[in-house]
Structure 1
Amino acid sequence: MGKLNFSELVNVRALEKMAESLYAISGIPVGIIDVDGTIYVKIGWQDICTKFHRGHQETNDRCTLSDKSINENLVKGKYIEYKCLNNMWDIGVPIIIAGEHLATIFMGQFFYDDEEIDRDFFYNQALQFGFDVEAYMEALDRVPRYSKKKVQDIIGYYQGLVNTLAESGLRQLVYEGSKKELAKNQKYLYTIYNSVNDAIFVHDFYGEIIDCNHTATTMFGYSNVELINMNINDLMSEKSILTKIQLMQSFQKARKNDAIVFECIFTTKDGNEFWVELNTSVIKFDENEDIITTIRDITDRKLAELASQKEAYELENLRTEFFGNISHELKTPLNIIFGVTQIVEMEMQNKDKPIDREKVLNNLKIEKQNCFRLLRLINNLIDSTKLDSGYFELNMVNCNIINVVEEITLSVAEYINSNNISLTFDTDVEEKIIACDLDKIERIILNLLSNAVKFTPAGGDIFVNILDGKEYITITVEDTGIGIPPQKLNIIFDRFRQVDKSFARNHEGSGIGLSLVKSLVEMHGGDIDVESKYGIGTKFIIKIPIKIADNITREESNKQVNSMIDNCVERIRIEFSDIYNMDERDI
């Protein structure tokens, strides 16, 4: 509670009229002065005070000291009788409200009728302060004289008045406090009402809007006045799955339920449509019932749901297509193996003619190639599953990445050249030791080279380049093949995706390879990107960070490099197995 103010708690004008009436009856001067010295009432004050004592600085200071002395010595329910420094009687009655001394009722100045007035004191005082002696002494003679009984009766009256003022002031204080608290609460609730992110409407059971918050005006683009003259139905889109009749029926149902929540499409003033969630409940005030409806914009959520549904639908289609491809990829080599086995079996069982060893070996080569195809597919499926489950790990060694990529590239050079495709390897640095998984690097390079061979016609070129950077080694595999359509570039690394399903059989695949390549590169902390011009060619850009693995000996690194070189032929056969015209003699 702040500092109390007497004039805010008591009707000073009415109090002044009461004092005037009492003065007319009793003739005793009265003043009401607050503790700060503000004079609210002064009735019957004598000329000797107003024209002389209060008009001179020194004698006025005496008056002020007298008032202060009275205020300092007042006690609740008591009065103080005091002869001021200017030698006249004052009586003070404290006005105390809520335990706080706010003002004082002063009665005076006067003399008692049984006392002798010291006229010499006043005469000398007039001379001392330069007053008009004659006028001053005449003013002294006009100062009233009262009996002590009369003064006591007036004091009793003023004490009763003080009690009445205290009670009245206390009631006013409580009222003012309640009014301020109510205003504060109303302001607080109004602030909340207009600060929430949801639009709030108060309307009747037929949708006629009675009130709305600030969010409602910003959400729908109408002013408060416009909305109050509308029906909530007017905000509903014709495209909404909930009809306007159903909305009205929902309002009627709200009478029997605590709350009703539903979704529909609303429209702003400028015609923009958006999804909303309506939460409707009944509010009761006195004998009246209305509905309060909160409206939340759920457009982002609905779009996310729709996008999720679309994504799930597309993913399901991709899975269906993927499993169709997988079944074909499995069935085709199995059929070939089965067919070749039958041919070899017939050849071996035919006792009428000698075994054609060249024919048998050729059939066995076909059978072996299709076994590699199955192995490649199964390896990709297993690795893809390991990646999803988090069990795919790198076996890092420190090695010369330039030498590794060159060995891998040159190992397929003869086969690529036999397809009338030129293969070029180039590097701007001869040695760069970095940490990598040799098996995974080989998988990455062989996959990109096999793709380049698939989609590069005879007479084309394939380039493998290495560029040294400050933080990354950049490996590019570029071809002059058929390229990738621009609209397909953003899905090139998506699992289960195939860039073009119209390719001939020698270009088919499961849609796992490039997705796996991207994952392997990223496991190295690197990145892979693609650039392509349809009909001109494609370039894959791999960036692998330049860093060294700790606790890896040179012997261990050399051992793994040699192992990679020794097993390179078999891995090439596996990776290139889906290119049908591959000849075992080429590798």
Structure 2
Amino acid sequence: MVNSVSDGSKSDSKFLLDLYRKSLDLADEKLYEYFLDHAVGLTKSKIGFFHFVGEDQKSVKMTTWNTEALKNCTANYVDHYPLEQAGNWADGIRLKRPIIYNDFENSPNQKGLPKGHVPIKRLLGIPILEKGIIKAIFGVGNKKEPYTQDDVDQLEIIGNELNRIISQRLAEKQLLESKEKYQSLFENMLDGFIYCQVIFDKHGKTKDFVGLETNEAFEHITGLKREQIIGKRITEIYPEATETVPKLFDTLGLVASTGVEEKFEIFFKPLQIWLAISAYSPKKGYFAAIIEDVTKRKKAEEAVKESEERLKRSQEIAHVGSWELDLVENKLVWTDEVYRIFGLKPQEFGITYEAFLGNVHPDDRAAVDTAYGNSLKEGRDAYEIEHRIIRKDTGEERIVHEKCTHIRDKAGAIIRSVGMVQDITERKKTEQALKESEERLQLKLESVLSPDVALEENELANIIDVPSLQAAMDQLYVVTHMGIAIIDLKGKVLVGTGWQEICTKFHRVNPQTCKNCVESDIELSSGLSKGQIRLYKCKNNMWDVVTPLFIGDKHVGNVFFGQFFFEDEVPDREYFEKQAEKYGFDKKAYLEAFDRIPRFSRKKTEALMKFYAQLSEMLSKTSHANVKLARALNTEKELQYKLEDKAAEVEEYASQMEQLAETRAKQLKDAERLSAIGATASMVGHDIRNPLQAITNEVYLTNREIDSIPDGDTKDSIKQSLHSIEENLFYINKIVLDLQDFARPLNPRREQVNLANAIKDALLMVTVPHDVKVAVYSPETLRLLAVDPTMLKRILVNLAQNAVQAMPKGGDLTITATNNDKQITISIQDTGEGIPKHVQPKLFTPLVTTKSKGQGFGLAVVKRMTEAMDGTVTFETEEGKGTKFILRFPV
């Protein structure tokens, strides 16, 4: 059993030296054959074998036999042999010790030999163990004399040396692959990297940087070649940098001196670009920086900001706001203008659907809730309604128009509503005013054509010129200081001026006292004849005077003046005190208003009564036909202008909101493919990528410095740890790249690519186990492929990595490239487990994976990148036999 090197006298020192020398030149299989030939000769045997044992310790990889055994054997062998099917030649593996069967035919655990196998009379088997794990087994057979412990001892010595050579070769291969893979990873980083030494002046202030290392991405960002950076000071490259970007020097110098990491964005004036920089210090006086060109993002952010400002101003001008309700999270978002429409300060509090309903007019609340709820229950695409609201700040009643579009998930369920709300109060008032004006115009035109009939049948408001009379009464009040009103027979005030505060703020506000006012106006003025004047006390105990207004022979209204006391009377103050208590008025304010009620002489009152009687007579008798016609024509013209203006305004608002709703809906639909990974992609962009690249760079720098450490166990341990870190970095980096490639827009940068070299470079990025054989076939006449080289590498790495992972017990990975006049085809084929039927229809869908490890973005990224370069990707699979992915690109 091979466990340690023996210094016994039986060791063949010359062979051990020869074996070491041969290992420097021979390939693996030739080395094993050389070893076996010596082992057979050393023990005077006839046949020998050497096979590796699988990592699962349950299978044997049939590796090689000695030359003599192969000459006389015609049996067929498979590459992998299950241990449970192996005969007693594999007992060394089962028992984990050497076995000797000098009477092979009668030995235990016989399972027979394959047809054509060389006959076996005696057998000696030696397992090669390392830390309790069997790595391989070798043996010899058919010696004339029985095998002894001396044979075991000799074979253990040379077996131990072979194991040392195999382990060293594996370590060297892993180190080489690791270095190549890491160098490729470093060079293919999406972001730039630079490692510098900082030069400080005597006061400790940053004076300059000296470039020590950089990668290809940094060259793309700056336009500088590596040789222009390494060993050069930044002030040699950009002499004006200390003046134009002092923050860069101060911040990076601080990182190098304190060791505290910094992340910042800066406008680098020498290149006129924006850079996002993440810097850390691997050792004092030095810094490493990850640099990303974010100029496009900055410009896009500025454009978005300007667009949002324009939208905000447009919403303020049009009194239009937008909102979005997430039905899954029950989260409602309003723009600032929606808050203003509802009489709230912008973003005053986190709004909810329930809080929104609380601001709807009580009489409309149920209708709004039902309308929106039904649009969801019935699965409609949209919801639209007009309703009233109560402004929070003023208590004012306003009218709004709401409209929204419902967004659905992949299953068709409504998950979000995106809509607008517009304050249409003024529009509604205008529409109502226009409607009333049209009706009045129609009546006035009819009154011109049929004056007697029309004037008797129409209401007073449709006949008199309210604005003109109001203006005249306002001027009259300036002279008389006596309130006046023209009221129709229903109690509606058409013209009014000079009303007393006790009426406007108290009597007309309280429902009961207001009822007294209206009843006084109607009941106490009824039964009047033409020219009659009536003086009476209203039901609120003040003097009023009324005279009727007739048009033709029809009593259509009354002219009132009053709300006064006579100078020679003493008002009943106690009555008003009781009135205040009865109706809950502010007694002090109410009595102060009472004290301000005017006092008139009876003589003045009598004169005004006669004047208003004559005014009423004049309004009744004067023919206004020609005036009405002129006014009607003028009003018609004004109405036409107003209608045209309002129609254009409403159309513009509607167009704006439809465009806004469509744009927002499109944005949400375009973002649907990111809904499952939105938060993850954001987290990757900020919380994973920067530390990941920092670790990557740190490992890179450590690898550069490790050669200075003397050889020994410590150095080997560090190398093994770094190798493990690199493997995990590669896995994490793949997840990061898949997420970012899936989330961001793809803009391929096409170049003429040598496909054979691209496949070779991609395979360097894939860890291939020793039990997976890789074969690449491509004709010498293979055309150059016009694609993005970075995207092509990502595609090939993803597919090759998937193929390897589909063969946990080993197998064949075959990559074939062909071309014709129309297209270039690349196939990546494995002999693995195949893809289950239930997974096949959604294989390229994000978050779908057949592996226990992974995020399910790899194939989705492959499809996006392939199609972005005008290619296609398909697959053929059979469960238990393997899978082939086929890429096709146009020539």
TM-score (norm 2): 0.23
Structure having greater relative contact order (Cα 8 Å, sep ≥ 6): 1
TM-score (norm 1): 0.33
